[in-house]
Amino acid sequence: MPPSTGLDAEERERRRRISHSAMERRRRERTNHIINELKFLVPWLRNEARMQKLEVLENAVQYIHQLQAAAAVAGASVSSGNIATASSQTVSRDIPVSPTNIAVAVTATEAA
């Protein structure tokens, strides 16, 4: 029987590369899907046609910080006796949210 270890080793290596490529492709597809989902969740990114992944992540972090600030302000309003309604704390999907907009909205709610 002639030694066929060279051919078998080449075949194993070829199959390993194909398998690794498939795993890497699935990982990239999953990552892209999650990035697109994050892009949709940030109000001011929804209509953007093309963005770099890092830009989407940076904007998502900024939006989360803004939501946390709004929740902290709303929590302070509730604990001080000024109960703000859920609708007054709702973030518009068409207007970009900023800490200034949130502070103005909360101040207007407290004044009412």
Give percent of the chain with pLDDT exceeding 90. Answer: 46
Say how far apart CA 36 and CA 60 lie, in whole Å: 11
Note the pLDDT of residue 27: 96
DSSP 20: H
| pLDDT tens figures, 15-47 | 888 999 999 999 999 999 999 999 999 999 999
- Compute the chain's Rg from CA coordinates: 25
